[in-house]
C-alpha cells in the first residue's frame, strides 16, 4: 500500500467557485491562475486578464457563461483543479455541472452587497452535492474606498455576513429540509459546529487578501504559542489584555477596562493596520515612501522600486503591489484549499452516498442476479475509495458536453505525435468534448468504455443501444481554461476533458469499464427551464440545417430543451440563457436566419378557493358531474376540490421524494426489481407525510384568526380523510404533478345504486388499491386490504377485470390533469373525488379509449362548474436602484402587477433593494420599462419563485343586483385579464376562441354621434 504522504491522490484538490453574479469569481480565479497556472497569467495581469472568461460573448457581456476548469500547481506537488462557474441564475446548470465534479466550493460573498438570494441557492447546491464549503468575503477594499466605513463598522458588516451564511448553512444541515438525504449523519462529525469560522481557516478576506492566520503570525512575530492564543480571539467579541498578554471575553474585558472604549481584536490587529495601509497608500503625497518604510521594509517584502513609483499613473498600483507581496491572495486561498478541503479519497468516501445511492434489491432478485449485484457493489466500493489500482473498474461521470471549434484542438499528443481529429458530428466544425471526472480506476486515451444513460439498470439489462453503448474514446485532455493539454491517462480523483463522445452523450452520462455499474444520481439544478419560445428558420428551405443545429445546441447546453417535429419550441432557464441559445444557434450550430416568437409563458389551471375559500368549499358541497362510457359499460361521477396552497407547494417541491416513494411501492408490489433502497423509501415516505401534515397545519394557522376552531378542525379532519383515500397522483411530463385522484367516501355511498339513466349499477368502492395512502403511511396495510378491491360479493359478476377498469379511470384522470378545460394547460392543486359504477349486465370488453374520454370529460366538466381559475408563474425579483429612481421603479412595478414584499436601504450606500414578485408574463415588458424609465440605473434579477392563481373569474358576467349596480351590463368593465391570457394561449394552440368583436355596438354608435 502507498503511504498517505506519497499517495498522489492526497495532493489533489477539486474545487469550484460559486457565488452570485459579479461577486468576483473570475477575478479570484485570475489570481489563482497567476499563482499556479505555470505562466498562463502574469501576476501583474491577475484581476484584469479574466483568463477564465475566454469566450467572445463572455467578454462582450462581462459575465461568465460557461463553467471552465483549469489545472493549477501549488506548493509541494499539489494539483488543484479549479472550476470557475457563472453566477447568473439563468446559467445555473453550468454551476451544477461544476459542483458535480468538485469536492469543495469556494463560496464568494461580495462584502458590499452582502448575502443575495443566489447565495442561498449556491449554498444549497454545495450542500446537496456534499461539497466542503469555504467562505471568501470579497471586495473588502470597497468597504474602505467606496463605503468609507471605519474598521469597527467594517467588522460589524463582515460579522453579519459570516453569521448570515452560517445560519443559512446550519438550516440546511439541521435536516429540516433534507433529512432524507442525510443518510450517514455520523459522517458529518462537525454537525453541531458553525460551518464557517475564521479561526478554522476556512474564511478568507479578499481582496485585502488574508486569512486571520497571517495577522496572528504578524502580531505574534512567529511565536507559535502566541499565534495560537491570538488566533482564538481574532474573530468575534474577544479583546486583548496588553498587560497580561491574554485574550479576554466580553464580560471580562468590560469589567477590566469599563472606562475605555474597547475594540475587538479583529478590529485592533487586523482591520486597523489594513485601513492604515489603505489610508496612506491612496494618499496623494508621500504614499510611496510611507509604504516603503512601514510595510515593505518592516515586513521585508519583495516589491520593486519601479512598482512603488508607478503610483503617479494610478494611485492604486503601488498599493496593490505592496498588498500582493504582504498578503498574497492566491497563496492564502491555495493554502486554505490544502488545509481545509478534502482530497478526492476523503471526499469520495463522503460523497458516494449522494453520487451512487445504495440500491437494495428484493431478496429474490438479489439472489437471482448475485453476480451482477456483487460486481456493481464492488464498483461502488471502488468509487467510495477513489481506487487507482490497475484492477479497479474505471468509472467516470460526464457532467456536461461543451463545444469547441476543431481548429482550437491541440495538434499534437502527449508524446508529440500528430492527433487525428476526425469530425464525428458530420459536417459540423464544432468538436464536442465531455467535461468529466474520473471517480475510480485509471482512464486511458483510446480505451473502450460503456456509456450508461441515467436510466440504465444493470440488473434489468438493456436492449443494446438504448441506455448502454460501448464506445472507443479518442483523446484525453487536462483543461487549462480554454486550452487543452493532451494526456495519455487520467487517474481517479481528477477532472478532465474527453474527446470521442460527441455523438453518444446528450447531456450527462456515466462511463464505466463494466456494464455492471449503476449510473450516477442525476444532477441537482437550482431552477427548471421556464421560458419558452416558438422558433423556426426564416427560410423554410433551411429546415434541415435548422434541425441539425437544434440538435447540436441541445448537446452543447446542459439545460436547453426543445420539443416538436413541425413546430419547434425552445425552453430555456431565463432571458439571458434564451438569448445565448438563439445566438449560438444562429451563429454556430445552424447558421441560418431564425424567426423567434415572443416568449410563450406556461400557465396552469385550478379552481377558486384559496385561503378562506377552502373553508367555504366545505359549506357549499359540490355537485357530482356524471359521465357514462360510450360503450355504456360503466359511469363515473366526479367532483373536484381545491387543495390548500401550502400542500400543493409541498407536493411540487417534493416531486423527487414522491416519485421515489411511489416507484418504490410499485416495484415492490409487483415483485419486480426494485432500484430503491427500502430504507430510503421509509425515510422519504415519513418525510413526505410529515411535510404534508405540516403544510395543512400552516395553512390552517394562517386563517385561524378569521375562522372558528370547530370549523378548522372539521376541515382538517376532512383533509386527513382524503389522504386516506388517495387512488392516484397526477403525472405531467414524466413528473409528479400536484393533483390527487381520491376514492369517494366508501361508507357513505356503498352498495348497489341506480345511475342517472335508470340502469342499475354497482358502486365500485375501490377497484384500485389505495396503495399511495398506504405507502405514505396515512393508512395501515391492514386498512388498505379491507378497503381494497371492489365490493367482493358483486365483483365477479359485474366487473370482469377490475385492473382494466382501474387503468381506464386513472388514465382518463391523467389525461384530464394534463390539459385543463380553460386552455389545455395542466391542472394544479386539485383533488378529484370519484365514484365509478359498473352497469349490471354489460358486455365483457371495455372500450378503453372511450372510457378514458368519459373520465377526462367528467373531470374537465367538474372543474368548469367549480369556478375555474388560471394560475400564472411568478418571478421573484431582487431589484437594486438609486434612491432618486425609486419612484419611477415603483411605477413600473405597479404597472406590471408586481407584488412588493419589502424594500431596504443598503447600508452605507444610496441604493435601495426592493424585493417583489413579478408575473412571468409581464417580465419582458417589466425589464424593458425598467431600463427605459431609469436609463439602466436600476438592475433587476429575476428567478422563478412559485405559481399563483389569478383571483379574477375569467367568465365573469355581472349577475347579482350588486354586481349589476357596480359593473352594469359588463360593457364598462376593464378588460378581463384572466380571459385575455386564456384567449392568447388558446389562439397559440389553435383552439377555438370566442372573439366578440363588436359587443356593445349601440354604445359605440352613441359615442360616435357625440363626437
Ligand X SMILES: Nc1nc2c(ncn2[C@@H]2O[C@H](COP(=O)(O)OP(=O)(O)OP(=O)(O)O)[C@@H](O)[C@H]2O)c(=O)[nH]1
Residues that bind ligand X (CB under 6 A): 19, 21-27, 63-64, 86-88, 138-139, 141-142, 206-207
Count of Cβ atoms closer than 10 Å to residue 847 Cβ: 16
How many whole angstroms separate alpha carbon 548 and alpha carbon 814? 33
Question: Of Mg ion, ligand X, none, which one sits near residue 27, judging by CB under 5 to 8 A according to partner kind?
Answer: ligand X
Q: Which is nearer to ligand X, 158 or 817 (CB)?
A: 158
Longest dimension (CA), the chain: 106
Task: Specify the DSSP class assigned to residue 11.
Answer: G
Q: Which is nearer to ligand X, 139 or 869 (CB)?
A: 139
Considering only CA atoms, give the Rg of the chain. 32
Q: Which is nearer to ligand X, 87 or 342 (CB)?
A: 87
Q: Which is nearer to ligand X, 26 or 755 (CB)?
A: 26
Question: Of Mg ion, ligand X, none, which one sits near residue 571, judging by CB under 5 to 8 A according to partner kind?
Answer: none
How many whole angstroms separate alpha carbon 510 and alpha carbon 514? 11
Q: Which is nearer to ligand X, 23 or 504 (CB)?
A: 23
Q: What is the DSSP string of 658-684?
A: HHHHHHHHHHHHTT----S-HHHHHHH
Residue 507 beta carbon to Mg ion: minimum distance, rounded to whole angstroms: 22
Comparing CA positions, the residue from 795, 741, 814 lying closest to residue 773 is 741
- For 549-580, the three-class secondary structure string (H helix, E strand, C coil) is HHHHHHHHCCCCEEECCCCEEEEECCHHHHHH
Comparing CA positions, the residue from 234, 194, 218, 212 lying closest to residue 335 is 212
Residue 19 beta carbon to ligand X: minimum distance, rounded to whole angstroms: 5
Q: Which is nearer to ligand X, 109 or 382 (CB)?
A: 109
Residue 50 beta carbon to ligand X: minimum distance, rounded to whole angstroms: 6
Q: Which is nearer to ligand X, 19 or 615 (CB)?
A: 19
Residue 436 beta carbon to ligand X: minimum distance, rounded to whole angstroms: 22
From the centroid of its chain, how far is CA 887? 33
Comparing CA positions, the residue from 362, 310, 484, 345 lying closest to residue 413 is 484
Q: Which is nearer to ligand X, 144 or 914 (CB)?
A: 144
Question: Of Mg ion, ligand X, none, which one sits near residue 23, judging by CB under 5 to 8 A according to partner kind?
Answer: ligand X
Q: Which is nearer to Mg ion, 64 or 737 (CB)?
A: 64
Question: Of Mg ion, ligand X, none, which one sits near residue 139, judging by CB under 5 to 8 A according to partner kind?
Answer: ligand X
Question: Of ligand X, Mg ion, none, which one sits near residue 724, judging by CB under 5 to 8 A according to partner kind?
Answer: none
Question: Of ligand X, Mg ion, none, which one sits near residue 138, judging by CB under 5 to 8 A according to partner kind?
Answer: ligand X
Burial class (CB in 10 A: 0-12, 13-18, 19+), 968: exposed
Comparing CA positions, the residue from 519, 507, 433, 524 lying closest to residue 476 is 433
Residue 613 beta carbon to ligand X: minimum distance, rounded to whole angstroms: 43
CB-based contact 617:609 (threshold 8 Å): yes
Q: What is the DSSP string of 125-150?
A: HHHHTTPEEEEEEE-THHHHHTS---
How many whole angstroms separate alpha carbon 571 and alpha carbon 559? 9
How many whole angstroms separate alpha carbon 27 and alpha carbon 48? 7
Helix pair angle (370-385, 344-355), 10° resolution:
140
Residue 21 beta carbon to ligand X: minimum distance, rounded to whole angstroms: 4
Contact footprint for Mg ion (CB under 5 A): 25-26, 64
Count of Cβ atoms closer than 10 Å to residue 164 Cβ: 15
Residue 22 beta carbon to ligand X: minimum distance, rounded to whole angstroms: 4
- Long-range contact pairs involving 36-45 (C-beta distance under 8 Å, separation at least 24): 36/72, 36/73, 36/74, 36/80, 36/330, 36/334, 37/70, 37/72, 37/480, 38/73, 40/70, 40/480, 40/481, 40/483, 43/324
Residue 70 beta carbon to ligand X: minimum distance, rounded to whole angstroms: 14
How many whole angstroms separate alpha carbon 994 and alpha carbon 904? 46
Question: Of ligand X, Mg ion, none, which one sits near residue 500, judging by CB under 5 to 8 A according to partner kind?
Answer: none
Task: Specify the DSSP class assigned to residue 911.
Answer: E
Question: Of Mg ion, ligand X, none, which one sits near residue 19, judging by CB under 5 to 8 A according to partner kind?
Answer: ligand X
Question: Of ligand X, Mg ion, none, which one sits near residue 818, judging by CB under 5 to 8 A according to partner kind?
Answer: none
Residue 47 beta carbon to Mg ion: minimum distance, rounded to whole angstroms: 12
Q: Which is nearer to ligand X, 142 or 663 (CB)?
A: 142
Q: Which is nearer to ligand X, 32 or 218 (CB)?
A: 32
Q: What is the DSSP string of 159-183?
A: HHHHHHHHHHHHHHHTTTTTGGG-T
Residue 578 beta carbon to ligand X: minimum distance, rounded to whole angstroms: 17
Region of 544 (left: φ > 0; alpha: ψ -120 to 50; beta: rest) is alpha
Q: Which is nearer to ligand X, 325 or 977 (CB)?
A: 325
Q: Which is nearer to Mg ion, 26 or 737 (CB)?
A: 26
Question: Of Mg ion, ligand X, none, which one sits near residue 21, judging by CB under 5 to 8 A according to partner kind?
Answer: ligand X
Residue 88 beta carbon to ligand X: minimum distance, rounded to whole angstroms: 6
How many whole angstroms separate alpha carbon 859 and alpha carbon 844? 25
Helix (H) or strand (E) holding 201: none
Residue 580 beta carbon to ligand X: minimum distance, rounded to whole angstroms: 13
Residue 529 beta carbon to ligand X: minimum distance, rounded to whole angstroms: 20
Q: Which is nearer to ligand X, 141 or 774 (CB)?
A: 141
Residue 52 beta carbon to Mg ion: minimum distance, rounded to whole angstroms: 7
Amino acid at each position: 500500500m502507498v503511504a498517505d504522504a506519497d499517495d498522489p491522490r492526497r495532493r489533489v484538490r477539486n474545487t469550484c467557485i460559486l457565488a452570485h453574479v459579479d461577486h468576483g469569481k473570475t477575478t479570484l480565479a485570475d489570481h489563482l491562475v497567476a499563482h499556479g497556472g505555470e505562466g498562463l497569467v502574469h501576476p501583474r495581469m491577475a484581476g484584469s486578464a479574466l483568463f477564465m472568461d475566454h469566450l467572445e460573448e463572455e467578454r462582450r457581456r462581462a459575465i461568465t457563461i460557461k463553467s471552465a476548469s483549469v489545472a493549477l500547481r501549488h506548493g509541494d506537488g499539489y494539483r488543484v483543479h479549479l472550476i470557475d462557474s457563472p453566477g447568473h441564475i439563468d446559467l445555473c446548470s453550468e454551476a451544477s455541472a461544476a459542483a458535480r465534479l468538485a469536492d469543495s466550493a469556494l463560496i464568494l460573498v461580495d462584502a458590499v452587497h452582502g448575502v443575495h438570494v443566489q447565495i442561498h441557492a449556491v449554498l444549497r447546491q454545495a450542500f446537496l452535492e456534499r461539497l466542503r464549503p469555504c467562505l471568501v468575503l470579497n471586495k473588502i477594499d470597497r468597504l474602505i474606498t467606496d463605503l468609507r466605513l471605519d474598521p469597527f463598522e467594517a467588522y460589524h458588516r463582515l460579522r453579519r455576513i459570516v453569521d448570515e451564511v452560517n445560519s443559512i448553512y446550519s438550516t440546511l444541515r439541521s435536516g429540516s429540509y433534507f433529512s432524507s438525504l442525510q443518510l450517514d449523519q455520523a459522517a458529518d462529525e462537525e454537525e453541531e459546529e458553525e460551518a464557517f469560522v475564521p479561526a478554522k481557516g476556512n474564511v478568507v478576506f479578499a481582496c485585502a487578501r488574508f486569512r486571520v492566520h497571517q495577522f496572528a503570525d504578524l502580531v505574534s512575530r512567529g511565536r507559535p504559542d502566541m499565534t495560537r492564543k491570538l488566533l482564538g480571539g481574532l474573530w468575534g467579541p474577544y479583546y486583548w489584555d496588553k498587560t497580561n498578554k491574554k485574550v479576554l471575553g466580553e464580560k471580562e474585558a468590560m469589567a477590566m477596562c469599563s472606562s475605555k472604549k474597547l475594540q475587538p481584536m479583529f478590529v485592533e490587529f487586523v482591520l486597523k493596520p489594513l485601513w492604515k495601509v489603505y489610508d496612506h497608500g491612496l494618499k496623494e503625497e508621500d504614499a510611496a515612501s510611507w509604504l516603503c518604510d512601514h510595510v515593505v521594509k518592516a515586513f521585508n517584502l519583495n516589491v520593486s522600486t519601479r512598482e512603488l513609483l508607478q503610483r503617479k499613473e494610478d494611485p492604486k498600483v503601488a498599493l496593490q503591489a505592496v498588498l500582493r507581496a504582504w498578503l498574497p491572495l492566491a497563496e492564502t486561498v491555495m493554502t486554505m484549499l490544502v488545509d481545509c478541503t478534502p482530497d478526492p479519497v476523503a471526499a469520495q468516501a463522503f460523497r458516494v452516498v449522494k453520487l451512487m445511492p445504495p440500491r437494495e434489491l428484493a431478496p429474490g432478485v438479489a439472489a437471482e442476479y448475485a453476480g451482477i449485484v456483487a460486481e456493481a457493489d464492488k464498483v461502488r466500493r471502488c468509487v467510495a475509495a477513489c481506487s487507482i489500482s490497475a484492477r479497479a473498474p474505471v468509472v467516470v461521470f460526464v457532467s456536461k458536453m461543451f463545444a469547441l471549434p476543431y481548429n482550437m484542438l491541440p495538434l499534437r499528443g502527449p508524446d508529440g505525435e500528430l492527433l487525428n481529429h476526425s469530425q464525428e458530428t458530420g459536417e459540423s466544425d464544432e468538436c464536442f468534448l465531455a467535461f468529466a471526472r474520473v471517480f475510480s480506476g485509471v482512464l486511458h486515451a483510446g480505451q473502450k468504455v460503456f456509456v450508461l444513460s441515467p436510466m440504465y439498470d444493470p440488473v434489468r439489462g438493456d436492449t443494446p443501444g438504448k441506455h448502454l453503448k460501448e464506445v472507443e474514446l479518442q483523446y484525453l485532455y487536462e483543461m487549462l481554461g480554454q486550452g487543452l493539454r493532451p494526456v495519455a491517462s487520467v487517474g481517479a480523483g481528477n477532472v478532465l476533458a474527453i474527446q470521442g463522445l460527441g455523438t453518444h452523450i446528450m447531456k450527462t452520462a456515466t462511463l464505466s469499464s463494466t456494464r455492471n455499474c449503476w449510473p450516477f444520481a442525476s444532477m441537482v439544478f437550482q431552477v427548471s427551464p421556464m421560458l419558452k419560445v416558438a422558433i423556426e428558420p426564416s427560410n423554410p428551405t433551411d429546415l434541415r440545417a435548422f434541425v441539425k443545429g437544434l440538435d447540436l445546441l441541445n448537446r452543447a447546453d446542459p439545460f436547453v430543451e426543445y420539443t416538436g417535429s413541425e413546430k419547434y419550441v425552445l425552453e430555456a432557464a431565463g432571458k439571458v440563457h434564451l438569448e445565448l441559445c438563439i445566438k449560438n444557434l444562429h451563429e454556430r450550430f445552424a447558421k441560418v436566419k431564425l424567426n423567434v416568437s415572443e416568449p410563450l409563458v406556461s400557465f396552469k389551471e385550478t379552481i377558486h378557493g384559496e385561503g378562506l375559500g377552502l373553508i367555504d368549499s366545505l359549506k357549499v358541497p359540490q355537485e357530482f358531474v356524471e359521465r357514462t362510457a360510450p360503450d355504456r359499460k360503466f359511469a363515473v361521477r366526479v367532483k373536484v376540490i381545491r387543495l390548500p396552497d401550502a400542500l400543493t407547494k409541498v407536493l411540487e417541491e417534493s416531486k423527487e421524494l414522491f416519485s421515489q416513494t411511489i416507484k418504490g411501492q410499485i416495484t415492490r408490489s409487483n415483485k419486480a426489481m426494485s432500484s430503491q433502497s427500502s430504507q430510503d423509501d421509509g425515510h422519504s415516505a415519513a418525510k413526505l407525510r410529515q411535510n404534508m401534515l405540516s403544510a395543512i397545519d400552516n395553512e390552517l394557522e394562517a386563517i385561524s384568526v378569521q375562522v372558528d376552531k370547530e370549523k378548522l378542525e372539521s376541515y382538517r379532519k376532512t383533509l386527513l380523510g382524503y389522504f386516506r383515500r388517495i387512488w392516484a397522483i397526477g403525472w405531467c411530463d414524466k413528473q409528479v404533478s400536484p393533483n390527487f385522484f381520491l376514492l369517494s367516501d366508501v361508507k357513505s355511498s356503498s352498495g348497489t345504486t341506480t345511475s342517472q339513466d335508470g340502469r342499475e349499477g354497482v358502486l365500485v368502492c375501490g377497484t384500485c388499491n389505495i396503495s399511495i395512502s398506504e405507502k405514505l403511511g396515512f393508512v395501515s396495510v391492514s386498512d388498505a386490504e379491507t378497503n381494497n378491491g371492489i365490493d367482493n360479493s358483486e365483483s365477479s359478476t359485474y366487473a370482469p377485470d377490475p385492473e382494466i377498469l382501474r387503468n381506464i379511470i386513472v388514465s382518463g384522470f391523467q389525461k384530464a390533469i394534463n390539459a385543463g378545460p380553460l386552455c389545455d394547460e395542466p391542472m394544479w392543486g386539485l383533488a378529484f373525488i370519484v365514484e365509478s359504477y359498473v352497469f349490471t349486465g354489460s358486455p365483457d370488453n371495455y372500450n378503453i379509449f372511450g372510457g378514458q374520454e368519459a373520465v377526462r370529460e367528467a373531470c374537465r366538466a367538474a372543474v368548469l362548474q367549480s369556478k375555474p381559475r388560471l394560475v400564472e408563474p411568478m418571478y421573484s425579483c431582487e431589484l437594486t436602484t438609486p434612491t432618486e429612481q425609486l419612484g419611477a421603479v415603483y411605477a413600473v412595478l405597479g404597472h406590471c402587477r408586481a407584488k412588493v414584499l419589502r424594500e431596504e436601504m443598503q447600508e452605507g450606500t444610496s441604493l435601495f433593494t426592493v424585493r417583489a414578485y413579478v408575473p412571468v408574463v409581464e417580465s419582458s415588458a417589466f425589464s424593458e420599462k425598467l431600463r427605459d424609465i431609469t436609463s439602466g440605473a436600476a438592475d433587476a434579477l429575476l428567478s422563478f419563485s412559485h405559481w399563483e392563481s389569478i383571483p379574477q373569474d375569467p367568465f365573469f358576467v355581472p349577475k347579482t343586483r350588486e354586481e349589476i349596480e357596480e359593473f352594469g351590463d359588463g360593457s364598462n368593465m376593464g378588460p378581463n385579464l384572466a380571459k385575455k391570457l386564456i384567449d392568447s394561449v388558446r389562439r397559440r394552440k389553435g383552439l377555438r376562441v370566442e372573439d366578440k368583436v363588436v359587443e356593445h355596438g349601440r354604445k359605440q354608435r352613441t359615442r360616435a354621434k357625440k363626437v
